[in-house]
Amino acid sequence: MMVEPIENDDARRRAVVELHEHLAATAELPIERTANRWIGEAEAVAADLVEAPNDADLIRKRATHIVSLLDEVGDINDPVANKHIVAAARLADRLCSE
């Protein structure tokens, strides 16, 4: 799968915010406890990124961490949560490959 590059600082910032929004949107959904823990950790890292400087290296490192956390989630039996996790993983991949 080809990952669409981030064009500029504004696009990077929008991707970080959108990443956090997708992860935060899963908070009230019925997700298995272990998966929820991984998602929660990823969401916390993304929340920190929203407040962090728009530094490409910092964002790349933390996005890489988010990818590894989301890799641990596995299958979720909630279609809405799955959509958010897939979207978050794609955004994190974009931020990693910048």
Burial of residue 89 (CB within 10 Å: 0-12, 13-18, 19+) is buried
Question: Tens of pLDDT along 16-43?
Answer: 999 999 999 999 899 999 999 999 999 9
In a domain, 3, yes or no: no
In a domain, 73, yes or no: yes
In a domain, 87, yes or no: yes
**91: amino acid identity, one letter:** L
Q: Which domain holds residue 87?
A: 9-96
Question: How distant, in Å, are the alpha carbons of 32, 34, 77, 87 from that of 94?
Answer: 27, 26, 25, 11
pTM metric for this prediction = 0.91
For residues 65-91, average pLDDT: 94
User: How high is the pLDDT of residue 4?
Assistant: 61
In a domain, 91, yes or no: yes
In a domain, 1, yes or no: no
In a domain, 26, yes or no: yes
Inter-helix orientation angle 56-71/33-51, to 10°: 170
In a domain, 17, yes or no: yes
Closest CA to 15 of 65, 54, 41: 54
Question: Tens of pLDDT along 50-70?
Answer: 999 989 999 999 999 999 999
Q: Specify whether the backbone of 42 is left (phi greater than 0), alpha (psi in -120 to 50) or beta.
A: alpha
Task: Return the structure tokens found at 44.
Answer: 């916390």
How many separate domains does the chain show?
A: 1
Contact 12, 56 (CB under 8 A): yes
